[in-house]
Amino acid sequence: MSSGLQLIDLNELLDGQPVCQVVLSNAGATISLFSFGATLQSFEIDLPGFTKRDVVLGYPDWTSYQKTFDLAGNAYMGHIVGPIAGRVANATIPWGDDTWSFEANEGQHLLHGGKHCFSNHNWKVKATQQQPYPSVTFELQEKEKFNLPGVLNCSVTYTLKDTELDIQIESIAIEDTIVNPTQHGYFNPNGQQGSVLDAQTFVFTEKYLELNREKLPSGVLLKTSENRDPNEPLLLSEFDHYPQLDTAFVLNKKQHQARLIAADGFQLQFSTNQPIFQVYIGGQTPFEGKQQTVYHAHSGICLEQQAEPDAPHHPNFSDIYLTKGHSKINSLTIQFEQ
């Protein structure tokens, strides 16, 4: 298939915008996206020497994604998560000489921005292009503040290049505010059926964040192993907490910071400009997935590119505040060449 782009109006309105599906394609891959949550719905790859496969978990229609926000445990499957990814202790942050409070949605804490977050909004299709590569940009320009201390605009651009998917999340501060988004796709290089435990996962890391019982960082960085060669990637199946992973790994500055290898040798490689991959194995949901797949606790793995979770409470973590008029880019590249 030659490179192409389809913009499909799904004939429904949400948040004052048409709900759309966008399909990007080239000779090796086809990407499907929904404007709701700026969601990566499918990532189908067809390379010589390998069986065709869809490497991300997802639902067959956009309304299933919307329904998950009525559930107690939302998987945030494939969404752009924000404005603050991960957990924020006690749903508060330091703000000036005071504090700013959010609406808690995980006990007394904030997770992934709360109910009124990036993932639970219908994004506007701002721009599309076919050349040099098929690409779409989704944008949120909300008058509300997502319960933030200052207004924030955000856009995400998905570009399907010859052998990679490039994702660029740009956040622009209209007022002084705070932001730490991520792309929350669940990947399985074997295909969306089966178990991600049948794949090998490597992360280029030497340290990870110590967590307390509520999965909040203590501020302490722990070594992955005393005996590992720091130049070699960590095989996650050799990590003490595997496969019960919801762990923030500090990334080495290499071209690729993570690699997934399927049972047949098919590979996905991940690189980002962010300091952390929050690695989570999961995917179990009450709804059937694509192709009537029933997802389970080991269906997929998230590699959430972001700054450290709960960063405002730890002076040794990244600064995720953003002053008026400034912007920041969060990038993720997924290569599927062999």
Domains of the chain with CATH codes:
4-335 (2.70.98.10)
Residue indicated by tokens 């590699």: 303
For 41-57, what is each residue's pLDDT tens digit? 999 999 999 999 999 99
Q: Side chain identity at 47, as an amino acid letter?
A: L
Q: Does residue 242 register a pLDDT over 90?
A: yes
Question: Residue 288 above 70 pLDDT?
Answer: yes
Instruction: Fill in the amino acid letter for 111.
Output: L
The pLDDT assigned to 230 comes to 74
**213-222 pLDDT per residue, tens:** 999 999 999 9
Band (231; pLDDT cuts 50, 70, 90): confident
Nearest by Cα to 280 from 110, 93, 87, 61: 87
16-24 long-range contacts, CB within 8 A, separation 24+: 17/122, 17/123, 17/124, 18/125, 19/62, 19/122, 20/125, 21/62, 22/125, 22/128, 22/136, 22/158, 24/134, 24/135, 24/136, 24/158, 24/159, 24/160
- pLDDT at residue 285, as a whole number: 86
- 245 pLDDT band, cuts 50/70/90, is very high
**Buried-exposed string 123-139: b where 16+ CB fall within 10 A, e elsewhere:** bbbeeeeeeebbbbbbb
Q: What's the token pair of residue 212?
A: 């307390």
Per-residue pLDDT reduced to its tens digit, 108-155: 999 999 888 999 999 999 999 999 999 999 999 866 668 899 999 999
| pLDDT tens per residue, range 200-209 | 999 999 999 9
What pLDDT, on a 0 to 100 scale, did the predictor assign at position 182? 98
Task: Quote the mean pLDDT of the chain.
Answer: 94
Q: How would residue 232 be classed by pLDDT, with cut points 50, 70 and 90?
A: confident
Q: How much is the pLDDT for 221? A: 97
Lowest mean pLDDT among 86-95, 176-185, 228-237: 228-237
pLDDT of residue 255: 66
Angle in degrees, CA 94, 169, 116, rounded to 5: 55
Tokens 């794949």 — which residue? 199
* Exposure string for 250-287, b = 16+ CB within 10 A, e = fewer: bbbeeebbbbbbbeeebbbbbbbebbbbbbbbbbebeb
